[in-house]
Amino acid sequence: MNKDQFLYQLQQALRPLDPELTKEILADFEEHFANGLQQSRSEEELSKELGDPAQIAKEYKDSIADGQQHQDIRSSWQENWQRPDTMTPEARHQTALQPDSTSWQHGSEPDTASDGSGTKAWTAQDHQNAGQGINEGTLVLVIVLNLFIALPVVLSLISVLFGFWAAAGGIGIAGLALFAVAILEAGIIGLILFLFGLSLVALAVIGLILMVYLTKGFVYLLRQYFIWNRNLVKGGAAI
């Protein structure tokens, strides 16, 4: 594999990450090649020693996940959502599928927690932002954005979700009520009522299952939005 092939593969493997961050990472490797070539090493040799681009990309993602995980532990409302032991198997599966999800590394011990070094979020601008406080201009912008755009949108979405839940529940209750009536009615009418009730209940169950997923997705997006807000206010680049 030559330099271009290596960098291309690395870039592809880094895809889910912030483009700005990807650019910085690729620059580091380009510099590595440039320095190696100066020592009259060949591109093939160098890329062989660097190792598998997919593995390198994974190591970057792992340390990002670590960093975010530590950050999340500090804000308590997310803790329950994130804790692997309180997560349902489906939820864990869902988050595991998200390439940039913060909780995909839950199996591993937070190694840096003991030395307290892992508490800072990993941003694209990394050390330049270390120690930087809250940016007031951005804070005002975020407040305005949330009050006038995000809040109405979120409230309407919650109402819609609530409406769907109520509808699904209502259909279920109607189905159950038909059962009750079917018991009183004898003969063919009772049978028809019973079957009609059955189909209503089935419909309600499907609706409720659908709603569980919809609500989960909504909460997930909301959470991402909060994280993004927080990163923005803290002056870091949103990943």
Partner 1 sequence: MNIQFKKGVLELCVLSMLMRMDQYGYELASTLSQSIEIADGSLYPILRKLAADGQVTTYLRESTGGPPRKYYSITAYGRQIHTQLLKEWQHFSASVNAITGGRAYE
Residues that bind partner 1 (CB under 8 A): 25, 28-32, 34-36, 38, 46, 49-53, 55-56, 59-60, 62-63, 66-67, 108-109, 111-112, 115, 117-118, 120-123, 126-127, 130-131
Min separation Cβ 227 and partner 1, Å: 16
Distance between CA atoms of residues 10 and 231, nearest Å: 26
Would you say 66 and 56 are in contact if contact means Cβ atoms under 8 Å apart? no
Residue with Cβ nearer partner 1 (42 or 80) = 42
Min separation Cβ 199 and partner 1, Å: 53
Would you say 54 and 9 are in contact if contact means Cβ atoms under 8 Å apart? yes
Residue with Cβ nearer partner 1 (193 or 239) = 239
Distance between CA atoms of residues 18 and 78, nearest Å: 23
Min separation Cβ 27 and partner 1, Å: 8
Kindly tell me the number of DSSP H helices and DSSP E strands found in the chain.
10, 0
- Residue 171's Cβ-count burial label (10 Å; 0-12, 13-18, 19+) is buried
Min separation Cβ 59 and partner 1, Å: 4
Using left for φ > 0, alpha for ψ between -120 and 50, and beta otherwise, residue 221 falls in alpha
Q: Which two tokens stand for residue 59?
A: 């190591």
Min separation Cβ 3 and partner 1, Å: 13
Min separation Cβ 17 and partner 1, Å: 11
Cα 189 vs. chain centroid, distance in angstroms?
51
Residue with Cβ nearer partner 1 (116 or 187) = 116
Cα dihedral sign, 56-60-63-69: negative
Distance between CA atoms of residues 126 and 54, nearest Å: 23
Residue with Cβ nearer partner 1 (68 or 204) = 68
Give the three-class secondary structure for 119. Answer: coil
Residue with Cβ nearer partner 1 (120 or 223) = 120
Residue with Cβ nearer partner 1 (130 or 209) = 130
Residue with Cβ nearer partner 1 (48 or 219) = 48
Distance between CA atoms of residues 132 and 123, nearest Å: 12
Min separation Cβ 119 and partner 1, Å: 9
